[in-house]
Amino acid sequence: MKEKNKKISTLQLTEMAILLALVVALQSISSVGVVTLCLCLVPITLGAIVLDWKCGGILGFAFGLVALFWGIVGKDVFTLYLFQASPVMTILICIVKGTLAGMVPAFVFNALKGKNHLLASIAASVVAPVVNTGVFALGCLIIKNDVIATAGKLGIEAVNFATLLFGVIITANFFIELLINVVFAPSLDKVADVVKKRIKSRA
């Protein structure tokens, strides 16, 4: 029994490592310019579905760290801008939104999989970008005054922050990320089913 459990654990760790590498690679590729896409939400959602909420949370946490890193070094312009305005809050925003975007889909999937497996996968795929964007927007609104003050210090012409945030950055990101995740949802469902059968066969 211990040997079988060890095999299952090794398989899960291998899957986790592969997904983690994908998250880091995809987020590094997409963290460019003002409007950046979270392409890594696909492997994060897959991890949440195939493994569990803890693994989803770890993948999301890694996503947050990578996004923060590329922001601080200037590759992700908007994250850098937020970091200059409020370093502590920007760190919290990146970490919390990423972690929750990995954890919540697992709970949604588990709640719906008994009724319809594909529906559960689609719902989980929808929830990931919703949580990611929602927490990001809330965090940005909390530090809105700091961001506006920083714009003045940097000599940047004042703009309507809410319009910029919701009309350009968040809207563009959210709908593209949502579309990508929903398109990949059926594939995620098939992959999840195959992997879970492999895990059960080794139990």
First to last CA, the chain: 8
Residue range 18-55, pLDDT digits in tens: 899 989 988 888 766 556 778 889 999 999 998 889 99
Domains delineated in the chain = 2-197 (1.10.1760.20)
Residue range 3-19, pLDDT digits in tens: 445 544 777 788 888 89
Does residue 153 carry a pLDDT above 90? no
pLDDT score recorded for residue 20: 92
Average pLDDT over residues 180-186: 81
Does residue 169 carry a pLDDT above 60? yes
Q: 97 or 85: whose pLDDT is higher? A: 97
